[in-house]
Structure formats: structure tokens, C-alpha cells
Structure 1
Amino acid sequence: MFKDFSSQGIDNDEVEELLKASSIYENFFVPERAQWDSLKNLTLNIGPEMDKAFKAIEDEPRNSELIGVLTTANYNDKEKVSDKKLSQLLILFDSVNLANENLENNDVLGDAYQYLIKTFADDGGAKGGEFYTPYEVRKLLVRLVKPVEEDRIYDPTVGSGGFLIESIKYIEEQGGNPHNVSLFGQEINLSTWAICKMNMLFHNARGADIRKGDTIRNPMHREGGVLKTFDKVLANPPFSLKNWGQEEAKADAYNRFPYGVPPKSYGDLGFVCHMIASLNDKGKMGTVIPHGVLFRGGAEGKIRKGFIKDDLIEAVIGLPANVFYGTGIPAALLIINKSKPQERKGKVLFIDASQGFVKDGNKNKLRDEDVEKIIQTFDEFQDVDKYAEVADIEPIKENDYNLNISRYVDTTEEEEPVDIPAVIKEIQELKASFKETEKKLNGYLKELGFEEI
């Protein structure tokens, strides 16, 4: 099974034992105390032994990409997970051979991990929105922005990494090399950061540069003291974050807020401004925003004015209500392009896709046909009756830079003309019928000795 080293004066048995002891799987080094044979038969103190095993894996110099990832979880927390439950898990996983040759395809483990993340989001309610964006929204936004091979792709509020994973899948679907792309992300929550790192590894996205920290207060992706810039930016930032870092933004060292600083109570445009500053000269981005961003005045109105004057906005797309975890309000997608095609310059496409969904439990869900309709409409960039409108910049300026979709897309149904003579005739017939009924009723009352009505 092992290469024959005898011709080089090396004992093959010693090589085999060394390989068994080191257990190098792919490019990770698994020390002996962390190998499956050392853990699978544990019955006592399972939690502490697992914690030590994961710490040993992280401590190996060859596993630098795993530092801080595996030890985020505490398996010795008996209130969350008992030894009995851990023992059951060991027995369960020992019955499954997860060697590469036994897997149906290379995506099995990644797909399983994504399934678990979604399950946690479903169970987490409002908390689920902090780390998970529904698959249909990820698919839609990636196909609107259209990443390609050799792109640098960035998510400043990366969560569990769904946009980055969907990007490399899309590139592969288009015939590109998914490994010939650079992935970057930043996440403020430590546990979510660890989930994202594992998600990258399970999807064979080795080398993804996922940093820990507050993106507004301390952007981690920098080059020579300035922000690193990217070809594509995709994100689902927290909606209307209150304590988002306004004070720090006022003294920002990276020139991220040339259009103005958003209000203290609404951090939405703070993230949008950061994303725009993180785009290179030909960069394109897509992000999820609450509808208030489109029409609120004050500082937000001033920022929108700057976006529109610089002709950055390519499309505004309204989505159905109750699609996202953590909120039932309808949201929109904002597509920004620093290098619009000539035929799209000075124009903004508005799409009202709020009615395209299916009920899915207690949530609403975009169907495949809903996603495809939005993508087709965006790609064709033309008016669609009661669904989409290509607006010139001038009427937007006249509307005081208000981007509320309903101002541009008329979804009202035309009322059918009323046949007045027919309505009069129907009323007359009803009156005659009523008089006849009244006459009969009075006859019955008279026979019974009651007064007529």
C-alpha cells in the first residue's frame, strides 16, 4: 500500500509505522492522541479528551489554518453535551467510513455541513440570521454579480461563508477553475468565524482569508495601510444595527465615508460605504438592505444622493417579506457597479419581485422560477410591465433621490370598466324581488295575527 523505499536503504515497516503515527490527511497533520483509534472507544472523560485532541491538532505547526477553529467549542461543558451523548456520537461515526473513496462525490461533506448550518439557523430563530442567508438569496445575488475565475471575492460580514461557497460553485458551473479565485471575509462573532473556517475547508476552499473582528471599527483586510480592494463583494449585513461604530466612522482612517456618515441608529449604509470603498475600479457588489435605506432622509438621503450622482447604482430589487431569518420585514438587493456597461450608464433598474414566492413553513421562500425571472430581467435590463422599470437618473433626482421601488414600478391592476346600465338593472331587479318577498312575509304575519312590517 506504501511506496517501496527499500532501494534507498530505508526500512518499509518503519515508514509504514511513521505514517500511521503521523496520519497526514490531505495537508493536515493529525497527531496520535487525536487520531480516531485513540478516541473512538472512550467511555469516561470523553469531553476533556476531545478538547485535548483538538488542541493537539491546532498546536501542530503544519495546521496553522486551523488555529482557533477547533478549540472554539467546549466539549467538557456537561450542561450542553453529556458524556453519554458524546459516546453515542462516537459510536455513530465509527459506523460510517468517511474515506474519500467511499463518498458519492467531493461535495458530500460540504453539503452535509451546509445542511447542519441551515438546521441550526431554523432552530435558532432570530439568531439564525446572524450567520445564515437563505440559499435562494445567495444563489440569486451571486448570479447577479457573476464572479469569474481569477476574481478576488470579499464578504465583510461573512457569517458562515455561504456567499463565498456559492461563488466558487457558480464559477465551476460556468466552466471556470474554482481554485483559481481568492476568497476573503471578516466576521465579528468568534463561534461564527470558526463555523465559516470549517465551511471553507469542507468545501475544499483552502487558503480562504477569513479574519476575526469588527469590520467597521477595525477592517482587517489591508494592504500597505489602505483597504485591500476586490473584484466582487457580496454581503448580508445586520439590519439597522444600532451600535455599529458611528464615532469611529467619523474619524475613519480609510476614507470609506466620502458621501457622509450614516446616523447612529442605522448602520446599514455604513456597511454599504465600506463595501464600495473595498471595490476596485472595475468592481461590482451586491448586498441585502432593509427598504428604509431606499427612502429615509437626513444623512442617509445625502449618501444616496452621492451614490446616484456618481452613477454607482445598477439595480434595486425588492424581495418578498419574511424571507430572512430574524426578521419578517421585506428586504431589497442593492447592486452597485463601478464599471457600468455604456448602455446602462445614467440608468437604474428597479425590480419589484415581492410577489414571487412560496410558503415554506413559517417562512417565505423564493422558487427557482422566481430567481430565474429576476436574473433574466436584470440581464436584459428592460422594462417589464408591472414588474420592472429602467429609470433615468433625472427622474430619480426629481424624486429627491428617493429609491423606493413603488415610485418607479407601477404594480396596480387596471380596474375593469363598470357597466352602469347593467348595474342599475340589477338594482331594480333586487328591489322588485325584495317587494315580492315583503308582500309574502306580510301575508304570513297577517294569518298569524301579527302586524305587517
Structure 2
Amino acid sequence: MEINVLESWLYQAANILRGPVDQSDFKAYIFPLLFFKRISDVYDEEYKNAIEEFGEDFDYLHRFIIPKGCHWSDVRKISENIGAKIHECIRAIEKENPEKLSGIFGDTQWSNKDKLSDEILKDLIEHFSQNNLSNSEVKSNTMGLAYEYLIKKFADDSNKSAGEFYTPREVVKLMTMILDPQEGDSIYDPTCGTGGMLLETYEYVTSQGKKGETLKLYGQEKNLTTSGIARINMFLHDIEDFYILRGDTLREPAFHEDDKLQTFDCVIANPPFSLKNWGREEWANDPYGRNSLGVPPASYGDYAWVEHMLKSLKDDGKMTVVLPQGVLFRGASEGKIRKQIIDNDLIETVIGVGEGLFYGTGISTSILVFNKKKDEAKKNKIQVIDASEIYKKDRSQNYLEASHVEEIYNLYKNYEDVEGKCRVVEIDEIKEENDYNLNIALYVDKIEEDDGITLEQAYNEMIKAYEEATKAEKELKLILKEMGVM
């Protein structure tokens, strides 16, 4: 099946759910059903091929076992209590494949008839039954691409809540190019969402003509449904060597080596911005020593993620992470942590990216590159890139085009001063002249335009400055409150 036909057909399933189901919940219903249909069709194909080659008496080992009475065709025969039958089948499949599929279908309430009537479920089942999704009909690469397309479409539909599970793919591509993973590397995403960042590292290595299957992919995701979607994502891309576990990374990290955190060659992540109630009380006595640089404030969990990731990074490891730009200049406990990170020469590059690139937030964001083994020429320096004007503006969601990704990456790669865009700064200057403040504007000057601005532009700039000042005042009050000043 052609990819554009497959994508269109799969997305049409969402139209059946519109009305009774919120757009932000489409993924919780459609992705499990899509995977159920895919493995049922592949199961039939494997059985047919085995009979043709070896005869009916051959005991063929399927990739995934589907118990008797729990095939897609068994659900299709039902006209009443369809949701209960779906629930029965997917739980039985999980039970028969505990090592690979335990919990993969999420916790959707299929038998809730107030939300999903038998008529709606019947329409949905019949829609997915229109086409065969076996390997001979839909190759794994095509299936994987269509799945990624659906993830993006559902992110576009839900917008505000999409940031919890989806990072725009061009941003991920840029982060991966900078990370530059190699064959055999272990890759870790502590907030893996639907698995897009892990998948991009696989595709990056493969695109270099190397063996992406040699990568060892690790991810942790708090949300059960989203972690299931991530695992489905890997299987549909025909990736086997991955470990995606559910859990709260800051409170209960999933990957260990004896009594220590497991460490990885590469870490890549887009953690929740300025997370509140992130576990500060437990962090103060963290058994893994993740608080060695300090304990972040209760109202901002950003540096908790940074400390966790640094602790999870090998001594020669590298990581790229998306963070709000507030981490570059906020003071108090965050300032003390930032000071130690800079003193230890762990930051390689700071990239300020365009506004409105991420779903559900308009705040200024940055990509930080950490490197525990900098090249000699980069030691005791931090590269600061202002890419805030390098993006495509759109009415609902700004985005990076391929040319923008290439331009920002070249600024990073060339590692030289470019007026208005990039500067390589000595750490001594950051310490002595700016008191460890990494605010991008302190190091990269905007190129002044000669044409001047209109009255309307000046008014808009004034309003924007007022909003930023109000926000900064609120943040200052929170910090002072935590310090006991207020």
C-alpha cells in the first residue's frame, strides 16, 4: 500500500471517534486497535507461509502469540459488548507475550459504553478491517512512517496537551545530529513520550550507512498509555533491542546497575518544562546521589532532570536536552547548580530556538548540549547560538524546516563566531563578567535593522516586554518565597 493512501485511511478512523471522544484521547483508542490489527494480520501471514513451506504439522513459532478466540477476526464477529471483547483479547495477548507486550495496550476503558457505544466500536472495527496490514501488504518501514504520521496528526489536533508526548520531529532531528550517536551506542531518554527521540537516533545511524540495529535504546515514560504507544512505535518500525519502562523517572528511575543508576553513551530528552511537585522532598535524600550539585526549587524541576541525566551519562558521554531559557539565568538554588555545572565545564553549547515551536507553550526555549569529554579546542568555552529568528512562522504552530535545521546545525558544527547568531565564549568571561548568567542576549548581539519600526511594532514590543516583566516578577516572588524572604 502506498504511504499516502495508508496515512489517509488510518487518519479517517479519527472521524469515527469525533464527538464522543476528546481529540486528546484519540491516540488511546486508535493506536492499540491499529497494533492489534497489525499483529493479527501478520500472525495469519506467518501461519500461511509456514503451511506452504513446511506443511500443516509444522509447529511454527510466531513473533507474537495470539491465543485462541483473541484474534481480530474474533472481535469482528461480535455485535454486542464489543468493548468488553476487545478488552478480553488484548489482555490475553499481553499475558501470552509477557516479556514483550505486558501493558502495551494501555489502560483504556473499552467497556465504557457512555463514551464508546457498540455502534461506534463496530464502525471502528470495520474501518480497520478494510485493509490487510500484513508484512507483504505493508512493509515495516511504511507502517512505521504511517504510525509517526498519526502521532503528529494527533499532536496537531490536541495541541495544548501534545507537549506531554510529542516533540516536533525537526527539533528532534537537530538534537540527534548534534548528539551524533554511533553504532553500538546505548541511548537513553528519561521522558521518552511516544519514543520519537529514540527512534530518530536509530534512523540517524541507519541513514549514515551504519547498523542502527546495534543501538541499545532505553526509555522511561510516566504515562501508561503513552509508554505503550512508544513500545508499539518500536515494534512497528521492526526494532527489537529496546527497553521502554513505565514510571516516574525522578522518583523511581527504572534503569540500574547494582545500587547505582545505569549509565549511557548518549542521553536525549525533552522533559516537562518547569515541572512542579516533581519530588523535591525525596530528592533531598536521593539514594543515587543525583543531588550532588544541589537540590532544585520545588516550583521548577528543570535542573532535577539535568542532574538525573548527568548522573545517567557515562564519563565520556554526551547529551542534548530541551529546556526553558529560564534555566540559563534564574538565581537562588538554580544559580548554584548552574555555577557548578559551568565550573565543571560540562556545557558545550547553548542554543536559543524560535518561539512557538513546542506544543502547548509559547515560552522561550533552548537546546543545551552537555559533554563530559569535550574536544580539546572546546574546553573551558561555551558556544552560544541565537537561533531565535531561524524558523517558519505559522498561524497555529511555528516550526523548523529542513533548511533551518541545517543552518542551526552548521552554526554548531563550524564552531566559530557569526555576527548576530553565534559566539564562542570563554568560561572566565561567563564567571567574572556575568556571574554565571548564560542569558543568550549577554553574548550574542542582535543585528540592528536600519529601517526602523512602525508605531504598531513598537506597541507590540512594549506589550511583550510588559508581559515578560510580569512573568519575571512572579518567578522572583516564587524564588524569594522558597528562600523564606517572603
Deviations 1:80-134 (A, max 9, x none): 322212211222222201111112x431221222222222222223211111111
Does the CA-based 8 Å contact 1:348-1:391 persist in structure 2?
Answer: yes
**TM-score, structure 1 as length reference:** 0.85
Q: Which residue of 2 aligns with 1:102?
A: 137
Q: Which residue of 2 aligns with 1:336?
A: 370
The match for 2:90 among 54, 61, 64 is 54
Q: Equivalent residue of 2:194, what SS?
A: coil
Describe the shift of the 1:259–1:376 C-alpha distance in structure 2 as closer, same or farther (beyond 3 A). same
Q: Which residue of 1 aligns with 2:99?
A: 64
The match for 1:184 among 218, 225, 231 is 218
Deviations 1:173-223 (A, max 9, x none): 011111101011111112211111211211222231111111111111111
Alpha-carbon separation, structure 1, partners of 2:226 and 2:53: 45
Q: Equivalent residue of 2:147, what SS?
A: helix
Does the CA-based 8 Å contact 2:106-2:224 persist in structure 1?
Answer: no
Q: 1:237-252 counterparts in 2 under 5 A? A: 237-252=271-286
Q: Which residue of 2 aligns with 1:87?
A: 122
2:80 matched to 1:44? yes
Q: Which residue of 2 aligns with 1:350?
A: 384
Q: Equivalent residue of 1:153, what SS?
A: strand
Alpha-carbon separation, structure 1, partners of 2:288 and 2:385: 33
Q: Which has the larger Rg?
A: 1
Deviations 1:1-43 (A, max 9, x none): 546899xxxxx4444xx66xxxx54x21111212233222322
Q: Which residue of 2 aligns with 1:372?
A: 406
Alpha-carbon separation, structure 2, partners of 1:63 and 1:164: 23
2:25 matched to 1:28? no
Q: 1:172-211 counterparts in 2 under 5 A? A: 172-211=206-245
**TM-score, structure 2 as length reference:** 0.80
Alpha-carbon separation, structure 2, partners of 1:294 and 1:220: 29
Q: Which residue of 2 aligns with 1:444?
A: none
2:110 matched to 1:75? yes
Q: Equivalent residue of 1:110, what SS?
A: helix
Deviations 1:270-321 (A, max 9, x none): 1001101110011000001101100011111111111111111000000111
2:465 matched to 1:412? no
Alpha-carbon separation, structure 2, partners of 1:94 and 1:361: 37
Q: Which residue of 1 aligns with 2:318?
A: 284
2:421 matched to 1:387? yes
| Cα offset, 1:414, TM superposition | 6.1
Alpha-carbon separation, structure 1, partners of 2:172 and 2:178: 10
Does the CA-based 8 Å contact 1:51-1:71 persist in structure 2?
Answer: no
In structure 1, stretches of 5+ residues that fail to align are 7-11, 418-453
Code of the residue aligned with 1:211 in structure 2: it is L
The match for 2:148 among 94, 107, 114 is 114
Q: Which residue of 2 aligns with 1:225?
A: 259
The match for 1:261 among 276, 281, 295 is 295
Alpha-carbon separation, structure 2, partners of 1:68 and 1:412: 53
Number of residues of Structure 1 aligned to a counterpart in Structure 2:
403
Q: Equivalent residue of 2:161, what SS?
A: helix
Alpha-carbon separation, structure 2, partners of 1:108 and 1:33: 29
Alpha-carbon separation, structure 1, partners of 2:213 and 2:170: 23
Does the CA-based 8 Å contact 1:289-1:333 persist in structure 2?
Answer: yes
Q: Which residue of 2 aligns with 1:432?
A: none
Describe the shift of the 1:309–1:50 C-alpha distance in structure 2 as closer, same or farther (beyond 3 A). same
RMSD after superposition: 1.9
Question: What percent of counterpart residues are identical?
Answer: 44
